[in-house]
């Protein structure tokens, strides 16, 4: 037996297609190539971050995935269907939150959702139960009967997610979901996305230009610039590919305010193989940093720290490897692709006073 998203091998085993897959996907506008030979796979049950500056081609890619824009060439499969040829099948299974959400201001949140439910063939008690469930999921039940025109930007984004969830999608695609939201609202949105994957098994594709938010919530990241995917993987995998030659291990010890203890620690830690530098914390409560080269020796160094601490009676309180920041990784990936990092670098934080683009 086979069907959309499922193929049967010669051995009779069912292979499940990734929810999103593109091959050599290209979109041209005259002489401008907005998306250039994009090969992308988003796995089931993950949050995938498509990271790039404004104008990198992220929204154009999303529109092709949804069947809202025709590709110039290449292949696309979303939940087992070709969006260009079977757009309605894709829309039934994919929830979409654009970067600027539009609702009827004079209708309540609940009324807006009931309207969406009707568009998706849901009515009566079935629609009511579904609406109550998604309102509870996005934590808007207490404001559901207030008019949408009174909602904050963060509340509108949560209502937008509820709107996308009404049809119980397999995949959720979010285009810049936290733009122009206050820090508390951002935390709420990101927590909500983690919960959707955990509780409903939804696959999420999140497009963003905000480095810190992508790093905090996404399982894997695709770095997008000038229409090209220049790097893909977990943050740790991208760090190994584009990060520094050094790794960093943070360690904490009791008694570092005592100069004799600190000197002894520096001597012992500095003698560990592959540790090239020991950096003291700026005050007694701040951890120390061990600079490790080569970077893949970090695991051996952590094990050595545990060993010498036990052997010499050092009071180790904490130890962890520090992954390169996505900011550093992004800049290196752009340079490695032969692009200008200044022209394509997304900000780590949203600019003050920024507004969503419709």
Contact of 326 with 235, CB cutoff 8 Å: yes
Q: Which spans in 21-137 are helix H?
A: 58-65, 87-93, 109-119, 124-137
- Bridge-partner residues for 47, per DSSP? 204
According to the model, what pLDDT value does residue 347 have? 47
For the entire predicted model, the pTM comes to 0.74
According to the model, what pLDDT value does residue 8 have? 45
According to the model, what pLDDT value does residue 6 have? 55
Domains of the chain: 17-241 (3.40.50.300), 244-322 (3.30.70.920)
3-state secondary structure of 121: coil
Question: Could you give the angle at the alpha carbon of 245 between the alpha carbons of 276 and 254, nearest 5°?
Answer: 45
According to the model, what pLDDT value does residue 175 have? 93
According to the model, what pLDDT value does residue 4 have? 54
Query: Which DSSP state fits 1?
Result: -
Place of tokens 């022209």: 343
* Terminal CA-CA length for the chain: 43
pLDDT in tens, the chain (358 residues): 344 555 443 444 445 789 999 999 999 999 999 999 999 999 999 999 999 988 899 999 999 999 999 999 999 999 999 999 999 999 999 999 998 878 999 999 999 999 999 998 888 999 999 999 999 999 999 999 999 999 998 899 999 999 999 999 999 999 998 887 888 888 888 999 999 999 889 999 999 988 888 888 999 999 999 999 999 999 888 887 887 778 889 999 999 999 999 999 999 999 999 999 999 987 778 899 999 988 778 899 999 999 999 999 999 999 998 877 788 888 889 888 887 544 454 544 443 333 332 2
| Distances 48 to 133, 213, 220, 248, 331 between C-alpha atoms, Å | 25, 12, 5, 26, 19
Q: Tell me the DSSP string of 77-109.
A: EETTB-TTT-HHHHHHHEEEE-SS----TTSBH
According to the model, what pLDDT value does residue 331 have? 87
According to the model, what pLDDT value does residue 316 have? 94
| Distances 37 to 23, 26, 115, 126, 224 between C-alpha atoms, Å | 7, 5, 38, 43, 12
């Amino acid at each position: 037996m086979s069907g959309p998203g499922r193929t049967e091998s010669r051995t009779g085993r069912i292979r499940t297609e990734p929810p999103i897959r593109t091959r050599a996907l290209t979109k041209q506008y005259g002489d401008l190539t907005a998306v250039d030979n994009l090969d992308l796979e988003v796995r089931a049950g993950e949050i995938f971050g498509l990271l790039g500056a404004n104008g990198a081609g992220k929204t154009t890619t999303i529109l092709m995935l949804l069947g809202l824009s025709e590709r110039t060439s290449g292949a696309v499969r979303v939940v087992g269907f070709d969006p260009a040829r079977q757009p309605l099948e894709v829309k039934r299974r994919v929830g979409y939150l654009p970067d600027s959400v539009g609702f009827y201001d004079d209708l309540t949140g609940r009324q807006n959702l009931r309207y969406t439910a009707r568009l998706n063939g849901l009515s009566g008690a079935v629609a009511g139960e579904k609406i109550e469930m998604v309102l509870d999921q996005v934590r808007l039940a207490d404001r559901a009967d207030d008019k949408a025109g009174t909602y904050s930007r963060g509340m509108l984004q949560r209502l937008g997610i509820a709107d996308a969830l009404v049809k119980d999608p397999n995949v959720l695609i979010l285009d810049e979901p936290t733009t122009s939201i206050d820090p508390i609202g951002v935390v709420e949105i990101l927590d909500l996305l983690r919960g959707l994957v955990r509780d409903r098994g939804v696959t999420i594709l999140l497009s963003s230009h905000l480095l810190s938010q992508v790093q905090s919530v996404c399982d894997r990241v695709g770095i997008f610039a000038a229409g090209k995917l220049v790097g893909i993987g977990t943050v740790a995998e991208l760090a190994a590919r584009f990060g520094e030659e050094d790794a960093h291990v943070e360690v904490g010890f009791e008694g570092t305010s005592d100069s004799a203890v600190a000197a002894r620690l520096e001597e012992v830690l500095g003698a560990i193989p592959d540790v090239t530098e020991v950096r003291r914390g700026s005050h007694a409560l701040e951890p120390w940093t061990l600079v490790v080269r080569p970077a893949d020796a970090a695991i051996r160094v952590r094990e050595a720290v545990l060993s010498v601490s036990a052997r010499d009676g050092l009071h180790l309180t904490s130890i962890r490897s520090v992954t390169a920041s996505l900011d550093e990784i992004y800049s290196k990936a752009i340079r490695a692709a032969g692009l200008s990092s200044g022209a394509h670098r997304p900000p780590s934080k949203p600019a003050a006073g920024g507004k969503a683009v419709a």
